[in-house]
Amino acid sequence: MNPHNTALSPDNDTMDDTALAVSLLADGLRPALPAARREQDLHARLQRRIAASAANQRGSHTVRQGDQVWQSLGKGARACVLHDDGLLRTALVEFAPGTSLPSHRHFADEECVVLRGSLSTGDLVVGPQDYHLAPSGSKHPSIGSAEGALIFLRGTSIGHGTRMLRELVSAWLPGRGASPITVRSSEGDWRTIADGAHIKPLWINGESASLLLRLEPGARLPREAHVQDEECFALEGEAFLGDILLRSGEYQMAPRGSQQGELTSDVGSLLFLHTSAGFARQDARLSS
């Protein structure tokens, strides 16, 4: 036997004591099963929580990335319709590099947030997280993307043949209509409305508003029942809308009267919201 290895040789008594200690510890860590009545109470409470959550979210429409259905628009563009109530359509539109769409006239207020890449129309170029509003009646020159782009559109006719044709034909009529509004990602004023929750209003139109909401990690923002349909698109991170987790690139429409409870985020998030003007106008209410 090599004398240098004697210190590493296991001692039988020590091994027996260790095995006994591990066995006793394992016995002590065995899960304690709840009594039958307590198990029934826990099950009942869970079922009530599920029922309450379903009632609060009734009518909500959530589109996960894995559920997105894309359709070709031709000429290197494709669209995914997220929501269509018969009047307004919300969609994602992706442009391949070098793609362009012809001039058209809008028959509804169309809002755009650039998610990736850049778009150009006339002399205007918009990039990531820039916001652009084309008011109803306004005329757009052709839209193109040299590098490719992914955009979020609210109030678009994209993917609806009849509406798209009307917009293309109307572009030949004289007049440019109302001026568009562009808010760069570096522009606008952020306001703190709760600890770790900040909003940047983009457009307020009567009783409705579009805004960006940034939640820091750990932020909690109580919400009341929606006074109108609310659309939410996650631009970055992830957030809980009540019991529903919304990740980057996912969408939810919560109808009027639905109740989320609160918005929270464990890792931080940036959300686009189309909601009530009252939410956009609220004053800072930092807790002490």
- Tokens found for residue 208: 């409705």
Contact 90, 84 (CB under 8 A): yes
Per-residue confidence (pLDDT) for residue 1, from 0 to 100: 45
pLDDT in tens, 184-201: 999 999 999 999 999 999
Lowest pLDDT segment from 10-19, 78-87, 200-209 = 10-19
Q: Per-residue pLDDT averaged across 218-243, rounded? A: 94
pLDDT in tens, 148-175: 999 999 988 776 667 666 665 555 566 6
- Tokens found for residue 181: 């509004």
Give the model's confidence band at 288: pLDDT under 50 very low, under 70 low, under 90 confident, else very high: very low
CA angle 130, 136, 140 (to 5 degrees): 60
Q: Cα–Cα distance between 247 and 256 in angstroms, integer? A: 22
List Cα–Cα distances, 86 to 47, 54, 163, in angstroms: 35, 25, 11
> Bigger pLDDT: 28 or 66?
66
pLDDT in tens, 86-125: 878 899 999 999 998 887 777 779 999 999 999 998 889 9
> Bigger pLDDT: 134 or 1?
134
Q: Per-residue pLDDT averaged across 214-229, rounded? A: 93
Give the model's confidence band at 216: pLDDT under 50 very low, under 70 low, under 90 confident, else very high: very high
Give the model's confidence band at 138: pLDDT under 50 very low, under 70 low, under 90 confident, else very high: confident
7-46 per-residue burial string, b: 16 or more CB within 10 A, e: under 16: eeeeeeeeeeeeeeeeeeeeeeeeeeeeeeeeeeeeeeee
pLDDT in tens, 50-72: 555 555 566 689 999 999 999 99
63-183 maps to which CATH number? 2.60.120.10
Per-residue confidence (pLDDT) for residue 103, from 0 to 100: 76
Domain ranges in the chain with CATH number 2.60.120.10: 63-183, 188-281
Residue type, 160: H
Give the model's confidence band at 252: pLDDT under 50 very low, under 70 low, under 90 confident, else very high: very high
Q: Cα–Cα distance between 157 and 91 in angstroms, integer? A: 9
Which class is 188-281 in CATH?
A: mainly beta
pTM of this structure: 0.78
